[in-house]
Amino acid sequence: MSLVLPSEIVVERFVPTARAMLAGALDERGFTQQEIADRIGVTQAAVSNLVNGNVAVEERFSEDPRMEATIERIADGFAADRMDGVDAMAELLALVEAFEDRGPICAVHEDEMPALEGLGCDLCVQGPDSEVLAERDVLASVRRAARLLAGTDGMAEHVPNVGTNVGMALPDAADGTDVAAIPGRIYRMRGNVEVPANPEFGASEHVAETILAARSVDADARAALNVATSDDLLAAASERGIEPLEFDPGYEDRREHLREAMADRGEVPAVLYHRGAFGIEPVTFVLGRTAVEAAELAVELATGADGGHER
């Protein structure tokens, strides 16, 4: 029996197909061949072959709607400067996982290794440790959320002086070390939102305690970010049917105070806020099931508050 590893299918079939499709998509968007080469990690000469159709592609991959959508999303992200190579890699790795779960990678693998046919093989999806996968998904969501905030015009106006952070908890989070956020916080500089580092677990105290308080009431509320409190932002929330919940600005026992306030409401609202106190800047928390969901709502509220728009 011939031995062919799934990773060989990924390297020899998936990667060339993805690069050819992405090169073509970037070429359509006006990127030069050198710019394309810099984005996808090949030489300019290789790009010429890719965009001219001189590289074989696997049609079972290229014609899959999921791959088409992923390539378009990455190309749009590169064109709008909302994605970098790490973001693109995360998108493609997620696609590989999907394709390995009884998908086209399995079909190609069975062709290359006929002994697998009819076995209902699921070794690829059983292999990775579930905890590692959960951590990776959380980190990816926080990273995308931070880049969404940084890529939205006008968002800097909603960053408080103490900075913004966005965090997301693991499904079974017990304390702040199970919540990923941006080390050093996200800050405002020259009218732009700056993200100083990639997310890490245990990087935020205040966002983490807000998430943990919310999870104690609703386990699906796993993410939050903070922005500056403003009447316009709160009004934008109300206009969208969200009833913001005001809470005490004090730091002492805040997690318990938040939990009690949400329990009294009988739900976890999407927007929590306080008006500040002596030495404490007014802050609003926007919550969601994922960091991306929370960031999307924050952008929507900011857009409603001041007419901001995504770059």
**CA–CA separation, 13 and 150 (whole Å):** 35
| Threshold 0.75, pTM exceeds | no
Domains of the chain by start residue, with CATH: 6-127 (no CATH), 148-306 (3.40.225.10)
Residue 127 has pLDDT above 70, yes or no: no
pLDDT digits (tens, 9 = 90+) for 283-306: 999 999 999 999 999 999 999 987
Average pLDDT, the chain: 90
Q: Helices in 80-198 by DSSP H: which ranges?
A: 85-100, 104-112, 123-126, 130-150
For 68-86, what is the mean pLDDT? 93
**pLDDT tens readout for residues 10-21:** 999 999 999 999
Task: Please tell me the predicted confidence (pLDDT) of residue 265.
Answer: 93
Gap between the terminal Cα atoms of the chain: 54
By C-alpha distance, which of 143, 164, 8 is closest to 85? 143
Of the pLDDT bands very low, low, confident and very high (cuts 50, 70, 90), residue 103 is confident
At 305 the pLDDT is 87
Name the pLDDT band for 136 (thresholds 50, 70, 90).
confident
Please tell me which residue, 129 or 17, carries the higher pLDDT value: 17
Distances (CA, A) of 142 to 128, 214, 289: 21, 17, 12
pLDDT at 113: 86
Query: Who wins on pLDDT, 129 or 245?
Result: 245
Please report the pLDDT score of residue 220 as a whole number. Answer: 96
Among residues 280, 272, 226, 286, the alpha carbon closest in space to that of 249 is found at 280
User: Tens of pLDDT along 253-285?
Assistant: 889 989 999 999 999 999 999 999 999 999 999
Whole-angstrom Cα Rg for the chain: 22
For 235-244, the CB contacts below 8 A with 24+ separation are 235/305, 236/300, 236/301, 236/302, 236/303, 236/304, 236/305, 237/270, 237/271, 237/301, 239/304, 240/300, 240/301, 240/304, 242/269, 242/270, 242/271, 243/269, 244/269, 244/271, 244/272, 244/273, 244/284
